[in-house]
Amino acid sequence: MDIRERKQELRNTIWRRLQEESVARFPGAQGRIPNFVGAEAAADRLTRLDAWRNARTMKSNPDSPQLQARKNALLAGLTVYMAVPRLRDSLPFIALEPNRLRVPPHRAASIKGAARYGRPVAIEEMPAIDIVLAGSVAVSRDGARLGKGGGYSDLEFALARQAGLIGEHTVVVTTVHPLQILPEREIPMTRHDVPLDFIVTPDEIIHTARTFERPPGILWQELDEEKLRAIPALLRLRPKGRTP
């Protein structure tokens, strides 16, 4: 079994487990970053981190289980950056700036709310990112993370890293249900996969061992021409004469 097949097998295991244990919320777990019972409690526990209290900026995934965390960030005065779906626009991120919002945080923090009330920005306009909030299908205590398989979360990280917005100070966190935690070394990690610093559940905060290196930036040799041409930000950052 190759790495892609193994990752998909693990996703299916977690999706099935959440459904069977009745902790997956509507519309179900399959094929998604699963929304789970206790997501709000996990988001509230996340605010106990020193890294959260000291943060000014956060890049977040747009998925439902992290909605409360995005609301909490805006209420705390953090500027939240959410990626445009598939990074397809020339301005690939949407900035939610608390001092500019004309609506309450709970209206701006959703996918539709961000698109309506946020401000599209280029990577060149963005400041340094203090926290990366990632959605996860599965995680392990060694810092491994598995998304839903599209690869865009890792690519968003790589873009920000390439642009100098993510450094060693940046903390990578996720919120999950305890049933999404797998044994260490069970999730295969590749060079472009982003490891976690903290895993937060409704009941605990896990400071991971993080034995995996962070991607240094965009791994150009792993990108095909079709994806390059579909993402304007990649084309702007692509070194002259560099091909996948």
Taking only the tens place, the pLDDT of each residue in 70-123 is 999 999 999 999 999 889 999 999 999 999 999 999 999 999 999 999 999 999
- Separation between Cα atoms, residue 7 and residue 74, nearest integer Å: 33
More confident site: 45 or 168: 45
- Separation between Cα atoms, residue 225 and residue 200, nearest integer Å: 37
Residues above pLDDT 70, as percent of the chain = 98
Which residue segment(s) compose the domain that 68 sits in?
Answer: 37-237
Q: Does 63 fall in a domain?
A: yes
When the pLDDT of each residue in the chain is averaged and rounded to a whole number, the result is 94
Q: Does 31 fall in a domain?
A: no
Find how far residue 64's CA is from the centre of its chain.
12
- 241 has pLDDT over 70: no
Beta bridge partners of 171: 131
CA distances from 205 to 62, 83, 141, 193, 217 (A): 22, 26, 11, 22, 28
Beta bridge partners of 132: 59, 172
Least confident range from 27-31, 135-139, 145-149, 226-230: namely: 226-230
User: In this predicted structure, what is the pLDDT of residue 218?
Assistant: 93
Q: Does 51 fall in a domain?
A: yes
- 38 has pLDDT over 60: yes
> What CATH number did the domain enclosing 105 receive?
3.40.50.10420
Q: Does 6 fall in a domain?
A: no
DSSP 8-state assignment for residue 64:
G
Q: What is the pLDDT of residues 144-203, one digit of tens each?
A: 999 999 889 999 999 999 999 999 899 999 999 999 999 999 999 999 999 999 999 999
- Separation between Cα atoms, residue 62 and residue 65, nearest integer Å: 9
Residues 6+ apart with CB under 8 A from 99: none
Of residues 71, 75, 79, the one with CA closest to residue 43: 71
- What would the two tokens of residue 64 be? 């439902």
Q: Are 58 and 73 in contact (CB under 8 A)?
A: yes
Count of the separate structural domains present in the chain? 1
Q: Does 177 fall in a domain?
A: yes
Q: Does 13 fall in a domain?
A: no
Q: Does 45 fall in a domain?
A: yes
Q: Does 217 fall in a domain?
A: yes
Q: How confident is the model at residue 243 (pLDDT cuts 50, 70, 90)?
A: low
User: In this predicted structure, what is the pLDDT of residue 234?
Assistant: 87
User: In this predicted structure, what is the pLDDT of residue 135?
Assistant: 97
In degrees rounded to 5, what are phi and psi of residue 58? -145, 135
